[in-house]
Chain A
Amino acid sequence: MLRTERLTRTFGGLAAVSNLDLNLRQGELVGLIGPNGAGKTTVFNLLTGVYHPSSGDIIFENESLVGHKPFQITAKGLARTFQNIRLFESLSVLENVKIALHWHSRYSLFSALFRLKGFYAGEEKMTAEALRLLELFNLDHKKDELAKNLPYGEQRRLEIVRAIAAKPKILLLDEPAAGMNPQETQDLMALIQKVRKLFNLTILLIEHDMSLVMGICERIYVLDYGKVIAQGTPAEIKNNKRVIEAYLGEEA
């Protein structure tokens, strides 16, 4: 469904990602792990068009994504969350979700300027859809609060709702459990499983929390210095010598 071919990105001579071959099949939940600075977030930035690759290709549903702008890639069906939360702070929770609905549900500029029927119908439709999603994530009671006033955990959840509102086929989650306590992480895992089934999603997930990665991912890629050093099922990864050296060893 999504694959990268020898994907490379260098910054001033330093390869943040080099010759990366990823492959995501329809419906999979895949983990991307690695020590800090291994290039994981750079991979997300390349996939979503925030960075352009220095070389290599990204193929999504038999079409190259390279050269497309981020909003075009989102429209094709890739949506993401951010490691450092990037909500629209001055907008309400509801409006944050409505932004992501914009691409698929927008009405004409003319009807907006002159408050024609299209405006009212369009807003109503967007509000209903956004509320439905917020309900699902148990955030509907906070719909009118400003995003910046939400507690941390709920901000993380809102990021996921917002990404799903963009109607992706593939969801990219960048450290969704960062800063969460074990209980919150447990809830998050359940939530990820739920939305995956509900929206028929393929998910690629960056995470440091091993319990989460090992718990829900079907396959894992391990990145170090921009290169894949191992891939396989959680069980295989746990016993891989290079991985233990490069990464798990740190914590042992």
Chain B
Amino acid sequence: MKRNNILVGILLLALYLIVELGIRTGIIEPFQQVNLFLMGINIILAVSLNLIVGFTGQLALGHAGFMAVGAYVSAVLTLKLGQPYLLAIFAGAFAALIMGIIIGLPTLRLKGDYLAIATLGFGEIIRGIIVNIDYIGGAAGINGIPKYTNWTWLYLFTLFTIFAVKNFVNSTHGRACIAIRDNEIAAETMGINTTYYKVLAFSLGAFFAGIAGALYAHYFFLIQPVTFSMQKSFDALVMVVFGGLGSITGSILAAIAVTFLNAALINLGALRMVIYAMLLVIIMVFRPQGLLGTKEFTFRTLLRLKERGTANAKD
């Protein structure tokens, strides 16, 4: 157990150093860098949305709205109020968390179907409000946000998200959420305060979406209400479903794959989403738990696959 942790630590550090070196030496080109940053942000979005949709079973479609809150709050803090970046990130994240509680409390008491629409509507409310505030640029958005997000920040916060969500779902609190997904009525008669846990998962997910927004704002230095449209929420959902409802590693792999695909299919225009949408339906019809399901991709599964491979080779 302990030795495994050390191994993971070394691998993660190595990955950090290799990419850092690649960026410094220019081996990783600017276009690839952009995709690398999008990948990190997508991982954060997918993993945090999986906490809500995959682990707790609540279909929320307002992730882009929380991302917008994080982006705008952090941008105002750094650009207009001259606050340090770290503070701005956490302020953005906490603002999104509070929004999560405000929106979650009334809607999560209800059955899942309403939640989907209510959160979609909420995303639109956020955008509608932003458009109407001149202080943050209205529809034109905020320009010239300092470009603070570098590889180190991105990497740290991506890891922070992954490990926090992983620790959460593997604790008694995360189990409570999974119990709600599996059977809400049984969960509440076994002493689980279902409303509390639904709101908790929802607002925690919002918290991390807020972080993603802050990272985004301070990398692309321009944010506009249209950046955080429904389409962004759907993108995150696509990643969660592809990877598996209830699999963190699945979400990570799917976020990486979708980022690559997006870059490769950039010239296809709308056809790209046509393909994703079709895959979404096909996966739901034939494998409703998503590709990895609730399974996690670990070293052990890798070994097992290898064993199976050699066993098959012998046959």
Contacts and interface: CB of A to CB of B under 8 A. Distances in A.
* Chains A and B come from one and the same complex: yes
Interface of A: 48-50, 69-71, 74-75, 79-80, 82, 86-91, 95, 98-107, 109, 112-115, 119, 122-123, 126, 162-163, 166
Interface stretch (B120-128, B145-153, B169-177): B169-177
B189 A88 contact: no
A100 B172 CA distance: 10
A50 B174 CA distance: 23
Given A106-B172, A113-B168, A88 B191 contact: no
Given A102-B175, A113-B164, A71 B193 contact: yes
Interface string B189-207: 1111110000010000000
A126 B190 CA distance: 15
Given A80-B189, A102-B176, A105-B172, 16 more contacts: A48-B189, A50-B188, A69-B188, A75-B191, A79-B190, A88-B183, A90-B246, A98-B172, A99-B187, A99-B192, A106-B173, A107-B171, A112-B167, A112-B171, A115-B167, A119-B167
Contacts of B182: 87-91
B173 A100 contact: no
Contact of A88 (B171, B186, B194): B186
Nearest to A100: B190
A163 B181 CA distance: 19
B178 A88 contact: yes
A126 B176 CA distance: 14
Interface of B: 164, 167-168, 171-176, 178-179, 181-183, 185-194, 200, 246, 294
24 contacts: A69-B188, A71-B193, A71-B194, A75-B191, A86-B185, A87-B182, A88-B178, A89-B182, A89-B183, A90-B181, A91-B175, A99-B187, A102-B176, A102-B191, A102-B192, A105-B172, A106-B173, A107-B172, A112-B171, A112-B174, A113-B171, A122-B172, A123-B171, A126-B172
B219 to A, nearest CB: 26
Tell me the interface secondary structure of chain B in the complex: helix
Nearest to A111: B171
A99 B174 contact: no
A93 to B, nearest CB: 13
Nearest to A89: B182
Contacts of A70: 185, 188-189
Contacts of B167: 112-115, 119
A91 B178 contact: yes
B177 to A, nearest CB: 10
Tell me the interface secondary structure of chain A in the complex: helix
A201 to B, nearest CB: 17
Contacts of B174: 112
A80 B174 CA distance: 23
B191 A103 contact: yes
Contacts of A114: 167
Contacts of A95: 175
Given A71-B194, A99-B190, A87 B183 contact: yes
Nearest to B188: A70
Contacts of A82: 186
B270 to A, nearest CB: 36
A87 B168 CA distance: 22
A21 to B, nearest CB: 24
A88 B200 CA distance: 20
B171 A71 contact: no
Contact of B173 (A48, A49, A112): A112
Given A90-B246, A115-B167, A119-B171, A99 B179 contact: yes
A89 B187 CA distance: 12
Nearest to B190: A100
Contacts of A105: 172
B189 A50 contact: yes
Contacts of B181: 90
List the 7 closest A-B pairs by CB distance, nearest first: A103-B191, A112-B171, A86-B186, A88-B182, A74-B191, A70-B188, A100-B190
A166 B191 contact: yes
Contacts of A122: 172
B189 A91 contact: no
